[in-house]
A and B are shown apart, each in its own frame.
Chain A
Amino acid sequence: MKRLGTVLAAATMVAMAALGLASCGGSGGKEGGTLTGTYASFPDYLDPALSYTQEGWTAMYDTYIPLLTYARANGKAGSEIVPGLAKSLPRISNGGKTYTLELRKGLKYSDGTPVKASDFTHAVERTIKLNSGGSPFYTAAIVGAEKFQETKSGGIPGIKTNDKTGEIVVELNRPRGTFTNELGMMFVAPVPAGTPMKNLSGDPPPATGPYEIVSSDPGRGWTYERNPQWEKNNAKLMPDLPSGHVDKIEITVVRNDSTQVNEVEQGSSDWMQALVPTDRYAEVKGKYEGTQFRVEPTISNYYFWMNTTRPPFDDLKVRQAVNYAVNRDALERIYAGSLKGIQQILPPGMPGYKKLELYPYDMAKAKKLIAEANPSDRDITVWTDDEPGQDEAGAYYQDVLKKLGFDAKLKVINADNYFTIIGNQTTPDLDTGWVDWFEDYPHPNDFFQPLLSGESILPTNNGNFAEIDDPALNAKIRKLGEEEFGPKQEAEYAALDREYMEQAPWAPYGTRTLSTFVSSAIDLDKVIFNPTFGHSLASFQFK
């Protein structure tokens, strides 16, 4: 019943937003004030071209608006793609190879610079030039983008823009069923033409959304204020997007999750972005559910990747053995009930999901496979980060590998830098480790192309940690990505899931629920948790 109530509240919000009422702030509650929030670690980047974590996307959801964006709504309604800086969804022609969009006229960045159609080209070029983890979405798709990636000069001929009319035409190499979703990703949110081609996490570029980041101190925190151009120009032009309720938002990095809980309980902080830590989960849920606490389902996968290019994980039997040896029940307990065990690529809730159980826990079978493989290299480095849950999952995994006869060493890295380090191929000993993945958009391609396609192996900001590069499977990912999604494709994605799990590049172990925990001063019912972007800061309102 509680979930039903939440969904109804969210549906009401969406309906109001559609009527343009939400942007007027006429839904009751207090307007203004300063929202204080905490993060457990600084996001990977505070730069739209570079960030590829939910923490980063949450931080920028209401700051950088792409041409298309996702509805500010909870649950499934939040998976709907809606126009952002573009007037409408793209017109697709030329057999699915040409996407035409029109920029809304009169938009301005927070520094007063007019938003131009060519800024979209700059955003795509910036993403590619900076070797962002999101660049494979565009290099593989857009005509000339691959060459631009190699030369880093000469522009991308597949993007044509007209600053006078605001028209943006994107030519693709081949049809791509997910490109509309990919236009809604943070990487290609327009930024002014002169934005430097470097990581701007310490001095984020001007905003188009209701809030701008006015100061950022990487590692410690950042602050938002209302975008002065939002009220003057952008709000009227994008009536479907909320204007936000609070005037200022101050985010501080507080490493200890338990301290974050205490601060929210005491009201010295209004919101914690991180999940309530596992040891406080039951207590907080019991005390505050419905008033200050809410469980948020996600479409996510937590898994251990195994580098298929390095011994001993270049041997299929070793990878399969690891899958048999990882006990998902133990990991459910390690995450104190906030994780549900899975053994496949696609998590429940994602189209194409069909339950797979190829590797039920069987230590004897695992040991037999290791004996058959008899790997000569048994020195393994296991990577994980230092956030609660992950550090213990890493220690558990190391123990499993030891039980299989490996000399496994655990390397725990600060969560601020974890993905940057393991995504950099010059980092030594990238053998195996923990990683999680939350959907970028509600399409199964999002769990294959960036994570398992050979095309996604990058020197920096790599997302294919297993470095699996199977030409036949790459071709299937590409082919399915080109097609319009339907029941046939859904079945083919389910089959692809099985094929990959037979190759066992990962040992997937669970899908996670997250949480919203706010102080008693915040109206919990108004808080929006988008399945892709997480919390919408514009939805927080004081009672």
Chain B
Amino acid sequence: MASESHPAPAAAAPTGRSPWRLALGRLRRNRVALAFLALFVLIALFVLAAPLWANHVAGTGPNTTHTLEKIEVDGEKREVVNREGKPIGPVWFGAGGRFFLGADGRLGRDEMVRLMYGGRTSLFISLVAAGLTTLLSIALGLLAGYYRGWTDSVISRAMDVIWAFPVLLLGIALGTALAVGGLQLGPISISGSSIWIPILIIGVVYTPYMARPLRGEVLALREKEFVEAAVAQGAGPLRVMLGELLPNLWSTIIVFFTLNIANNMLLEAALSFLGAGVQPPNSSWGTMISTGFDVISSEPLLSVLPGTMILLTVLSLNVFGDGLRDALDPKSKLRLEAHAGLAEPEGTPV
């Protein structure tokens, strides 16, 4: 009844879709990317559930040792670590969820609990380091690209210095140096065994890899008319950078951020494997591979399990990241496909 009291519009105004909605639509149609996003969410839920499993099922912490304990598996008493130092293998639910995946070695720590907590550590480091890389890259990219001149020179040369070293080598050097004495940054003191050390290292060594492309984009964007218009209206440098340039960088930043998480996870695993990342007894998937590697001939599961988790997480992030890039920046995909003679109409599911 109410609708009848209002006059109908003369003609329906065309409804425009924002670039974000367009991107979301493209992403929704990319089933593979969504499937791998679901896989990543599952992995994240698995590791987030670590305290629940540890407290309510396994009844032990990730670093608690059980060398001399015996557990009842399907009514039979079994040693967690036998006299030759061999740890118990997976017992699944034979002991009510305790030692579901067996023990991690002669210390008799619960492998399942360590895998879950290790995943938390690995994911936390990867995410926070990616956040740090992103913040540093945005700041450096905007400053270098907007101001150009000597600011650009100083920032670019500083990044060249970091870039000159292979990422892993630089990470090991910093990790080893900081593992003993820790880091003192003014009033902030970070102990050598803190997970903030690998976070800082990873966050810093990957910065040039993100800051450089952002700087390139800023250099191109600052010549556009909308920037000139903002300057003409009296906008200061900070307003131009944050209000005009940054919003145009978000799609690049989001894609880089996602792919950076995957790279960080691999670097964290490599550093921890080499003893320059997460310090024992804290577990990360990298340290777990390292611990398991010593006994790979007799207990292959101890390194295969965390290795598989890293593989799945990195794969899921990379495939999803690719999908995200295709969704946010379809031109680059079309360009690539056009070169290969594979151009398809926009929106065709991949």
Which single member of A336, A388, A410, A412 contacts B84 (CB below 8 Å)? A336
B279-A335 in contact (CB<8A): no
CB contacts under 8 Å to A, within B40-79, are 63-65, 67-68
The contact size tier of chain A is 35 or more
Bound complex: CA of A257 vs CA of B192, how far in Å? Answer: 26
Check if A258 sits within 8 Å of B294, measured CB to CB: yes
Within 8 A of A (CB), among B296-331: 296-299
Per-residue interface assignment for chain B, residues 190 to 207, with 1 indicating a CB less than 8 Å from any chain A CB and 0 otherwise: 011100000000000000
A327: which of B68, B181, B193 is its contact (CB, 8 Å)? B68
Q: Is the interface of B mostly helix, strand, loop or mixed?
A: loop
A403 to chain B, nearest CB (A): 9
* A334 pairs with B275, CB closer than 8 A: no
**Which of B68, B105, B297 contacts A329, CB < 8 Å?**
B68
List CB contacts (< 8 Å) of A339-391 with chain B: 386, 388, 391
Q: How many A-B residue pairs have CB under 8 A?
A: 92
Q: Does B25 contact A (CB under 8 A)?
A: no
Contact of B106 among A257, A329, A336, A386 (CB under 8 A): A336
Check if B293 is an interface residue, CB within 8 A of chain A.
yes
Question: Once the chains bind, are A412 and B294 in contact (CB under 8 Å)?
Answer: no
Of B181, B193, B293, B295, which contacts A428 at CB under 8 A?
B181
Taken together as a complex, chains A and B put the C-alpha atoms of A414 and B276 apart, in Å, by 10
Report B-chain residues with C-beta under 8 Å of the C-beta of A282: 84
Cβ of B81 within 8 Å of any chain A Cβ, yes or no, is: yes
Is A99 part of the binding interface, using a Cβ–Cβ cutoff of 8 Å? no
A256 to B275, CA, bound (A): 13
A residues near B65, Cβ cutoff 8 Å: 330, 395-396, 399
| Contacts of A297-340 to chain B: CB distance below 8 A | 327, 329-330, 333-337
* Most central of A258, A327, A333, A391 by chain B CB within 10 Å: A333
Asked whether any CB of chain B lies closer than 8 Å to the CB of A277, the reply is: yes
Contact pick for A258, options B275, B280, B281, B296, CB 8 Å: B296
Q: How far is the CA of A278 from the CA of B281 in the complex (A)?
A: 19
A411 touches B106 (CB 8 A): no
Is A398 part of the contact surface with B, judged by Cβ < 8 Å? Answer: yes
The chain A residue sitting closest to B63, CB to CB, is: A399
Residues of A within 8 A of B106 (CB): 278, 333-336, 392
Any B CB within 8 A of the CB of A280: yes
Interface residues of A (CB under 8 A from B): 256-258, 277-283, 327, 329-330, 333-337, 386, 388, 391-392, 394-396, 398-399, 402, 409-414, 421, 427-428
- 8 A-B contacts, Cβ less than 8 Å apart? A258-B296, A279-B299, A333-B67, A336-B106, A392-B105, A399-B63, A399-B65, A410-B279
B residues adjacent to A (C-beta < 8 A) = 63-65, 67-68, 81, 83-86, 105-107, 176, 179-181, 191-193, 275, 279-281, 293-299
19 additional contacts (CB under 8 A) given A258-B297, A327-B67, A409-B193: A256-B293, A258-B295, A278-B85, A278-B106, A279-B294, A329-B68, A333-B81, A333-B83, A336-B85, A337-B84, A388-B294, A396-B67, A399-B64, A410-B193, A410-B281, A411-B179, A411-B180, A411-B192, A413-B179
